[in-house]
Structure 1
């Protein structure tokens, strides 16, 4: 139920939302090559791996995806979250959720632009020369 409410809030804020009801479903979406900017996941998941395990797998295999974890029952301990992941306590106002997700999405999109520029670079030794993309 909370997932559906969060999805509605984000859709109303003009985000494209892909819902997954459990860890394996989320991983299947990513394995299919869907370009995802932000993973928003609760720590508690249906039977099976929890949200922390999902976050670790996403960070390992799709490091360009920003990770935002949430919980209303527990705080992450040292090592629970992968580097760079954010944590949001529930309940939170919808404006806070939208703000956190927007911030994560902006970081992911900026990183994608930077990666694209590096892919266009002429690499000589340790020097990277960037050339602007033309037409």
Structure 2
């Protein structure tokens, strides 16, 4: 039997390897395709190379360099139909930390909460891409081409 069609493509940005592994396992078990990045710079390289990322799921604190809030704004500017979900166990967003449409999920989160937030964000991104085809870094027909599973 073949694997079911993925619910969406998630770029998971987390500097803590164990947290990244657990979150990736939860999302893959829920039938998402997951691409992992250890920091914001790696995430931006992935975004420039991949077409059809539905959701960037990022931690706030990612030393060194750009934090999750900065990454969220960069994603919002350059890939406007990509969903953004920011997580943290220590730092909650203040006014203007997150771009419009981005969501915040406090750690620790349950697997059900993670999957629910990811599904909502992926569906919203897929709908936006279908309505606005041809955005930079996105497929001209609005469809997300296959992305190899890296996690």
Instruction: Output the TM-score relative to the length of structure 1.
Output: 0.83
Deviation track 1:83-109 (CA, whole Å, cap 9, x = no partner) reads 110000010110010000000001011
Match of 2:59 in 1: 42
**In 2, Cα distance between equivalents of 1:91 and 1:37:** 23
Report which of the two structures shows the higher radius of gyration computed on alpha carbons.
1
The answer on 1:85 being equivalent to 2:109 is no
The answer on 1:51 being equivalent to 2:68 is yes
Give every structure 1 segment of 4 or more consecutive aligned residues whose post-TM-superposition deviation is greater than 2 Å: none
The alignment's C-alpha RMSD in Å is 1.6
1:1-135 alignment runs, 5 A limit: 1-116=18-133
**In 2, Cα distance between equivalents of 1:60 and 1:111:** 15
Deviation track 1:58-107 (CA, whole Å, cap 9, x = no partner) reads 00111110100000001101111111100000101100100000000010
Which structure shows the higher helix fraction? 1
- Gapped regions of structure 2 (runs ≥ 5): 1-17, 134-139, 142-151
Higher relative contact order (CA 8 A, sep 6+): 2
SS class of match (1:44): coil
Aligned length, in residue pairs: 119
**In 2, Cα distance between equivalents of 1:112 and 1:23:** 23
- Gapped regions of structure 1 (runs ≥ 5): 121-135
SS class of match (1:18): strand
